[in-house]
Chains A and B, each alone.
Chain A
Amino acid sequence: MAEFINFYFIPGLILGSIYALGAIGITMTFVILRFANFAHGESMTLGVYFAWTLVQLTGLHPLVVMPIAMVLTVLYALSIDRIFYKPLRNAPVVMLVVASFGLMLMTRSVVQFFWGVQLKSVLPGIQKPIMVLDYLRISPKHMMIIISALVLMFAVHYLLTYTKIGKAMRAMSDSPELARLTGIDTEKVVLATWVVGAALACAAGVFLAIDTHVETRMGFKLLLPMFAAAILGGVGRPYGALVGGLIIGLAEEISSYPFIGTEPLLNPGYKAGVAFAIMIGILIWRPSGLFKGKVF
């Protein structure tokens, strides 16, 4: 049991939180900007590399420099929107998806060009796990991630539930047309969506980097699970994305637990396929997702 919790459940929770934070941005962009943003993963990658550079420059802990990295990532996202997405606002959706696909590669190339492709570390050194209740072993970095993720999720919740712009974001997620008719400032909501999405993406990336390492393909690797999480939770439902992310993260990690006998239930080489399988499953069974989001 301890083994299950320590080596499967907790990592699943961490991974799930990372997916969740990234998926919130994806689900809102999907419905407010009306397209699947393939470049979202690269916001994470870029954000991580910003954080890494800041860590190199200041010697501070990655979580300390993270807010600055988040600001930089937001600036990136807003510029990208202005230059590449805004001109296509009224174009057919597919053009935006193609554009985002192109931006995914462009951003990744920029990162690869400036920082190179070697693995980097944002929190070097091995850490001794803390013992909790003589039973659970949690490493300090996992604790940090879980706590920070919770703080961010709470902040998002607060934004969405108690602020005017947050409610406007939820309103526009429900129905962009009605939001426009109601007089909601749609451009403002669009900008807010980019800001929130990019900030969360940066954070998710930094958490992943803390947990593992820094590499240029991080964003792309997370893309499919994040999309799966958004769809699982119901497109346009930020809380759905949260739950969806957690489910997928847990499923991915737990899938390699030896439930039967000594062999992992699923060959760990196929972990990355778990998200996809869940997504296909939900698309077949209930395309609107768990929280009944939009189906297009």
Chain B
Amino acid sequence: MDAFYGYMLYGISLATMGGIYAVLTLGLNVQWGFTGLFNAGIAGFFGIGAYTTAILTTAPTHRHLGGYEMPYVVGFLAAMLLCGIIAYLVGKVCLRLRSDYLAIATIGIAEIFRLILKNETWATNGPRGVSEIPKPFEHWPEPWNQFAFLALVLVIVAIVYVLVEVARKSPWGRVMTAIRENEPSAKAAGKNVEVFRMEGFVIGCMIMALAGALMAHYLKFVDPNATDPLLATFLVWVMLIVGGSANNKGAILGAFLMWVVWSATEIVTSRLPDELAIRAAYIRIFLIGLMLQIFLQKFPQGILPEKRPTVPKSNRNSETV
């Protein structure tokens, strides 16, 4: 019975984290799948969301900025708003250039953010992070509090999914597809490409901030190196590519699937003797990376390919002639 209880709690935590990553992946899909933008600083926007809500909702303490003890909703909304503003500023500079530039700039943003977290210890408590973040339902008896939080996450996943699906099928979404497929003719048709891209970028970042906020409340703790930020960014990309880019269902599928794979491999390697167990983490990363390469080469559409009427694809080579 105890074992079953343990498995159930583990299952709930898997599903919860999977759900949080699903929100992240949906956000990335708006940027990549819809708009064709490469955001390599996911961890940064995620972190901004996490810290914003942490600072706003925690009790007063001398260790870091905060003490506002705001309700969760305020934390979430503030996280999204702040991220949106930062995304707007980053976008203003980089969106008119090629996707590589955006990738570099977003990695830069994530790094800067990490530096701020580490250096401005008066606000963030530096490397030690912000702890004792309130968690919805935490005063409920176990295991109901876990279930309730999971339900909250799943509801948010559902809401985000519905919103992005509606957006995808709307005229706005169709313009995005047109821009992604054949920018010159979209421009010729009078669409202000920059504005659309900005909208895609900002909305995507705001969704990521929401995921960050959820994570902060779930773990009740955030720090600058919560997960290796690079790894988190990488995992989300793998989730999207494997699941199916430009497909929202694929994004969710990829998130849960890869999270389960990632966690399952952790169980396997944790059974190894200590010496190997540490190093095993690197094998896991290597294998996930390999999986990504295989998908990029053989199944670039992912498990669930994008479903939409076939639009004549502009051949990459044709741009050069």
Contact = CB atoms under 8 A, between A and B. Distances in A.
**Do A's and B's CB atoms come within 8 Å in the complex?**
yes
B101 A296 contact: yes
A109 B230 CA distance: 12
Interface residues of B, number: 44
Given A98-B292, A105-B289, A177-B320, A279 B105 contact: yes
Interface stretch (B145-153, B160-168, B259-267, B280-288): B280-288
A109 B293 contact: no
Contact of B297 (A88, A97, A227): A88
A29 B118 CA distance: 33
B71 interface: no
A220 B279 CA distance: 19
Interface string A22-48: 000000001000011010000000000
Given A267-B119, A296-B97, A103 B289 contact: yes
Interface in B93-127: 93-94, 97-101, 103-105, 107-109, 111-112, 115, 118-119
B94 A224 contact: no
B45 interface: no
The prevalent SS among residues of A at the interface is helix
A102 B108 contact: no
Contacts of A116: 279
Nearest to B113: A273
Interface string A267-296: 101101100100110011001000000011
Given A283-B105, A287-B97, A220 B230 contact: yes
A98 to B, nearest CB: 6
A38 B108 CA distance: 12
B305 to A, nearest CB: 15
B21 interface: no
B300 interface: yes
A11 to B, nearest CB: 20
A284 B104 CA distance: 14
Contacts of A276: 108-109, 111-112
A280 B103 contact: no
Contacts of A177: 320-321
Contact of B38 (A84, A87, A97, A105): A97
B100 A296 contact: yes
A212 interface: no
A224 B282 contact: no
B79 interface: no
Interface in B70-98: 93-94, 97-98
Interface in B226-260: 230-231, 234, 237-238, 241
A90 interface: yes
Given A102-B296, A283-B94, 4 more contacts: A36-B101, A106-B285, A224-B108, A296-B100
Interface of A: 30, 35-36, 38, 84, 87-88, 90-95, 97-99, 101-106, 108-110, 112-113, 116, 176-177, 220, 223-224, 227-228, 231, 267, 269-270, 272-273, 276, 279-280, 283-284, 287, 295-296
Interface of B: 32, 36, 38, 40, 93-94, 97-101, 103-105, 107-109, 111-112, 115, 118-119, 230-231, 234, 237-238, 241, 279, 282-283, 285-286, 289-290, 292-293, 296-297, 300, 316-317, 320-321
